[in-house]
Amino acid sequence: MRIVDFLHPEDIVPRLSASTKSELLDELAGALAKSHAGVDRAELLRVLQERERLGSTGIGDGIAIPHGKMRRVDNILLAFGRSISGIDFNALDNRPVHLFFVLVAPEDAAGIHLKMLARISRLLKDSAVRTGLLDAPDAAAIFAIIREQDCSH
């Protein structure tokens, strides 16, 4: 199972306009709902907000992986967003977050959900990958970096 099996170039937002955690969740929920017919933006946003209330998904090093499970989702949905200026996401290291992966899984898919979270975490733990994603000029370049790293592991 690879990230690029579920992440599509149209689900990459290279310049997020959000400046707060709630705006970020709304913006990326909107991106997923727009490119995946049948995904309810409001329900997706509620799922992501509920998960954030349990504790921030900001894992440090400028990374956050907001995630959740939805009933009416048949497979994993992924979106990636980049904030050039950074967003206060209550991350573990208290630093702004620049790189966001949103992961939504079917309600009954605990195993695949956890495997994908681990795969995304592994990818983003590499500082060279993070730097490349921050410096990439556009969505196509971001996707190329993710594809190259994802397929080499």
Tens digit of pLDDT for each residue in 121-137?
999 999 999 999 999 99
pTM (2 d.p.) = 0.94
Contact 149, 6 (CB under 8 A): no
Q: Using CA atoms, how far apart are residues 150 and 55, in angstroms rounded to an integer? A: 27
Grade residue 113 by pLDDT with cuts at 50, 70 and 90: confident
Which backbone phi and psi does 37 adopt, to 5 degrees? -55, 140
Q: Using CA atoms, how far apart are residues 69 and 153, in angstroms rounded to an integer? A: 26
Number of domains in the chain: 1
pLDDT of amino acid 38? 86
Model confidence at 109: pLDDT above 70: yes
What is residue 153's DSSP assignment?
A: -
Tens digits of residue pLDDT in 7-23: 999 999 999 999 999 99
What's the burial of 45, exposed, middle or buried (CB within 10 Å: 0-12/13-18/19+)?
buried
**What CATH code is carried by the domain that includes residue 124?**
3.40.930.10
Active-site amino acid positions? 67
Above pLDDT 90, what percent of the chain?
A: 85
What's the domain range around 95? 3-151
